Amino acid sequence: MDQIVDIATDGRHLSRDRGFLKVSEGAEEIGRIPLDQVAGVIVHAHGTTWSTSLLTELADRGAPVVLCGSNHAPRSVLLPLEGHHAQGARLRAQWQAKAPLMKQAWKQVVICKIAMQAAALEAMGETHAPVAMLKRKVTSGDSTNVEAQAARYYWPRMMGQDFRRDRNAPDLNALLNYGYTVLRAATARAVVAAGLHPTIGLHHSNRGNAFALADDLMEPFRPLVDCCVRGLVARTGPEVNTEAKQALARLIALDLPLGDGLTPVSVALGKLAASLGQSFEAGALNLALPAPLDALTLAGLGA
């Protein structure tokens, strides 16, 4: 099972040891995990060191190493140079993709995100119909920015009337930062594994954003983090502690409806990225997007 390794204690050393990622403090081994199970490594702590052999092993497995600031938002991501047996052809197809295909892809992503937001609100006992109805208004490329209209309705009901999303704010916002960092790492891994370049986005196009495509494809999955954070705050408060991090890291193993069955989030991200790569090569869109979770499962996140 894919797992996120979180390094939050100062002075830890990470190394490779016979197929394992080993965490040490001085001469003492703190813990180890099979390298094949590592979906990503998130580092918050100061003074963390690691061996080059570990970093190359993680790169061979497509597992990103994410370095975070004090607000738990990512500052740097280390990803492999090679991710797919046909990467050259995929990258050319991605770069040469026509604008109508890119816009239709973004439309489908936004519709899926809004459906997830509506399901999240319903699971929390909030009025969700106005958000669900917005799905019908999404146009190619979301030219009328229905995504923002949905967000204006969604956030006050999901997190409270006084909530403002601010990456630099503490508490609840810091919890969201951490959850989104986990999601972003898993998505970046999926994008590279599919032979795509994370900088070339469908919608996000900030010149300074090296992970625009990852930010695009993770959008439908964000409400999972939101539900988990709301549950955590209600149960234990807004502190970004070990228990909260573990709950948010477990989201990548959560089963989502996809196709005819259930698929873990980490695998669903891989299928979505792969389907986008295939769409670029075929010149026709066929995205593998998940359906919303049932209300009972959503309501139980963060337990």
The domain that holds 256 is classified in CATH as 1.20.120.920
Phi first, then psi: what are they for 32, rounded to 5°?
-150, 155
Domain count, the chain: 2
Note whether 43 and 176 are same-domain residues: no
Please tell me the predicted confidence (pLDDT) of residue 94. Answer: 92
Looking at the domain assignment, is residue 76 inside a domain?
A: no
Dihedral through CA 44, CA 46, CA 47, CA 50, nearest 10?
A: 10
Please tell me the predicted confidence (pLDDT) of residue 83. Answer: 57
Looking at the domain assignment, is residue 30 inside a domain?
A: yes
Tens of pLDDT, residue by residue over 251-271, are 999 999 998 899 999 999 999
Note whether 240 and 92 are same-domain residues: yes
Looking at the domain assignment, is residue 71 inside a domain?
A: no
How far apart, in whole angstroms, are the C-alpha atoms of residue 67 and residue 6? 10
Looking at the domain assignment, is residue 19 inside a domain?
A: yes
Note whether 206 and 245 are same-domain residues: yes
Q: What is the pLDDT tens value at each position of the chain, 303 positions in all? A: 678 899 988 999 999 999 999 999 989 999 999 999 998 899 988 889 999 999 999 988 888 898 888 777 778 888 776 655 667 788 899 999 999 999 999 999 999 999 999 999 999 999 999 999 999 999 999 999 999 999 999 999 999 999 988 888 888 999 999 999 999 989 988 998 888 888 889 987 665 577 889 999 999 999 999 999 999 999 999 999 999 999 999 999 999 999 889 999 999 999 999 999 999 999 999 999 999 999 999 999 876
Strand partners, 223: none
Does the pTM exceed 0.95? Answer: no
How far apart, in whole angstroms, are the C-alpha atoms of residue 249 and residue 179? 7
Note whether 258 and 120 are same-domain residues: yes
At 7, which CATH number? 3.100.10.20
Nearest to 41 by CA among 30, 29, 54: 54
Residues whose CB is less than 8 angstroms from the CB of residue 207 and which lie 6 or more positions away in sequence, other chains included: none
Note whether 252 and 111 are same-domain residues: yes
Looking at the domain assignment, is residue 78 inside a domain?
A: no
Contact 113, 225 (CB under 8 A): no
In this structure, the number of other CB atoms found within 10 A of the CB of residue 176 comes to 26
Note whether 287 and 180 are same-domain residues: yes
- Both structure tokens of 136: 């019908």
Note whether 24 and 98 are same-domain residues: no
Note whether 113 and 259 are same-domain residues: yes
In terms of residue numbers, what domain contains 103?
87-299
Looking at the domain assignment, is residue 242 inside a domain?
A: yes
Phi first, then psi: what are they for 48, rounded to 5°?
-70, 135
Looking at the domain assignment, is residue 93 inside a domain?
A: yes
Looking at the domain assignment, is residue 81 inside a domain?
A: no
Note whether 114 and 165 are same-domain residues: yes
Note whether 11 and 159 are same-domain residues: no
Note whether 105 and 238 are same-domain residues: yes
Phi first, then psi: what are they for 131, rounded to 5°?
-70, -45
Note whether 154 and 228 are same-domain residues: yes
How far apart, in whole angstroms, are the C-alpha atoms of residue 45 and residue 195? 31
